[in-house]
Chains A and B, each alone.
Chain A
Amino acid sequence: MINFFEVHETNKMIEQDLLDVRTITMGISLLDCADADPVKMNQKIYDKITRYGEHLVETGEAISKDFGIPIVNKRVSVTPISLVGAGACRSPEDYAETARTLDRAAKAIGINFLGGYSALVNKGMTPAERMLIESIPQALSETDFVCSSVNVGSTKTGIDMDAVRLLGDIIVETARRTADQDSLGCAKLVVFCNAPDDNPFMAGAFHGVTEGDAVINVGVSGPGVVKSALEKVRGESFEVLCETIKKTAFKITRVGQLVAQEASRRLNVPFGIIDLSLAPTPAVGDSVAEILEQMGLERVGAPGTTAALAILNDQVKKGGVMASSYVGGLSGAFIPVSEDQGMIDAVRAGALNIEKLEAMTCVCSVGLDMIAIPGDTKASTIAGIIADEAAIGMINQKTTAVRVIPVIGKGVGDTATFGGLLGYAPIMQVNTFGCDAFVDRAGRIPAPIHSFKN
């Protein structure tokens, strides 16, 4: 039988170390909503999302109450809209109307984000996919809950540089259209290389075309729990450090597995995957940066940061994989700047810059995430940043992404405020030397060689 100290440990994780389940995300296929008539298509999309997602929020809240564990977000991801709308949408405006439909559906079922306003263009863009990408600034400025992502490259196909260059302009235009909210629109747009089909985390979630009709994916969290566990092993060897992270990750993931199975059973929707990512929030103590500092760094960004992050990411996976029957999504430590107080402090102290963050993305999930940059950053420079991140993902066979926010009207030293889970961010210096002649070349970067690895 469960003993007193086990109960105390679990409840301490929840109450003091901010353990939570970050999201229950229901993936819904919209492939059967395709229609030649955009009005009919939008009606089918609205009906399907509101039918499948009708009980998602209340079910999440009931599970939260039963186990005494907070479930922070209830969300929906859908089939990339560029595919669903390819037969109906004749202009970017048609796609934007679908974005407004998605927003209405999200509000009707009470979720706080809906992902999948997306295009997968890792080898090339169809006219429909180009239209969707061109509609992103309008879609994100006219909706509240819709999230967008574009996959511009993969290890198997190389990188579509035409899409990369276009997205430089799209990010700047999205920033401009949402300038009155510190360019918040860009916080809802992720550019991926090797995007996973089953990621439950926003803004990059979409329901892949190889998935079933509907699925429940769960994202766990718990940086505070790992940090708290590491406080007890200060000065110990790497072996003890790794064991501690692994055991803690196991416990965190088991909670996610329980919640996922319950949600799947109660909603009668198959369980997909658990995403093992450690996702920070702006709350003090809920920080990946603080874990790295607890491992022995004076500040995140100091020499040793990349190695510490590599250890953390690998041990979280090793502990988590045993705790769940199906692991997927992004599964690694997130290192967003605005959503992590320790990262913000490190940037302000001058310890952390974009170049070090880029190095860190080589060993953990996602990439340059929630980084505010000067509002006058050129579109070609943003395209260069995307190309660099995509190249890291392509060569290393991993997911990488860019979610940068050029904050219109602000420069280095200013702060951008996004609110809620998105937090706030000091604006970071970007290398201002040009790369126009490189990113303006048309075409794509070929797929890399898969042998002779060094």
Chain B
Amino acid sequence: MDKIIITVVGKDTIGIIAKVCTYLSENRINILDISQTILDDMFNMMLIADMGGCDKEFGVVSDDLKAIGEEIGMRILTQKEEIFTKMHRI
């Protein structure tokens, strides 16, 4: 398992999840969990995925997703899971 957390924030629009999921599937990144809500009037999506089967480096995936976000006017941030588990789990 090589878990990453992808967060998407911005004004709600059509096809956000489709865009992100298409990229993940093309790069053999498996989605484990996905949730979304409206926080502070903004669309917020969090996606937990496993990039153990992906050939690309983490930095490349992170940059690609950021670029996809810019295309659709959203901010997409990709982070390795450890920062969250370290902070919120003893």
- Which of A's residues lie within 8 Å of B, judged by CB? 1-2, 4, 6-11, 62, 65-69, 251, 254-255, 257-258
B37 surroundings in chain A (CB, below 8 A): 4
- Which of B's residues lie within 8 Å of A, judged by CB? 5, 7, 32-33, 35, 37, 39, 44, 46, 48, 58-59, 62, 77-88
Chain A: minimal CB distance from B41 (Å): 14
Q: Is the CB of A251 within 8 A of B59?
A: no
- The total of Cβ contacts below 8 Å across the A-B interface reads 59
* A65 to B58 CA separation, bound complex (whole angstroms): 9
A8 surroundings in chain B (CB, below 8 A): 7, 39, 44, 46
Chain B: minimal CB distance from A225 (Å): 11
Chain A: minimal CB distance from B27 (Å): 17
B32 surroundings in chain A (CB, below 8 A): 1
A255 surroundings in chain B (CB, below 8 A): 83, 86-87
Chain B: minimal CB distance from A8 (Å): 7
Chain A: minimal CB distance from B12 (Å): 16
Chain B: minimal CB distance from A303 (Å): 36
* A68 to B62 CA separation, bound complex (whole angstroms): 10
A9 surroundings in chain B (CB, below 8 A): 88
Q: Is the CB of B44 within 8 A of A258?
A: no
Q: Is the CB of A11 within 8 A of B77?
A: yes
Closest residue of chain A to B88 (Cβ to Cβ) is A6
Given A65-B62, A66-B79, A67-B82, also A10-B33 (CB < 8 A): no
Q: Is the CB of A6 within 8 A of B86?
A: no
Q: Is the CB of A258 within 8 A of B86?
A: yes
Chain A: minimal CB distance from B63 (Å): 9
Chain A: minimal CB distance from B60 (Å): 11
Q: Is the CB of A7 within 8 A of B86?
A: no
Leading 4 A-B pairs by shortest Cβ distance: A68-B79, A67-B83, A6-B88, A254-B86
* A10 to B7 CA separation, bound complex (whole angstroms): 12
| Apart from the given pairs A2-B84, A251-B87, 15 other A-B contacts in the complex at a CB distance below 8 Å | A1-B32, A2-B48, A4-B35, A7-B84, A9-B88, A10-B87, A11-B77, A66-B59, A66-B79, A67-B79, A67-B80, A68-B79, A68-B83, A255-B86, A257-B86
Q: Is the CB of A62 within 8 A of B59?
A: yes
Q: Is the CB of B59 within 8 A of A2?
A: no
Q: Is the CB of B7 within 8 A of A11?
A: yes
Q: Is the CB of B87 within 8 A of A1?
A: no
Chain A: minimal CB distance from B47 (Å): 10
Chain B: minimal CB distance from A264 (Å): 14
A1 surroundings in chain B (CB, below 8 A): 32-33, 48
Closest residue of chain B to A61 (Cβ to Cβ) is B59
Q: Is the CB of B86 within 8 A of A69?
A: no
Q: Which of B5, B59, B80 contacts A7 (CB 8 A)?
A: B5
* A444 to B86 CA separation, bound complex (whole angstroms): 48
Chain A: minimal CB distance from B20 (Å): 15
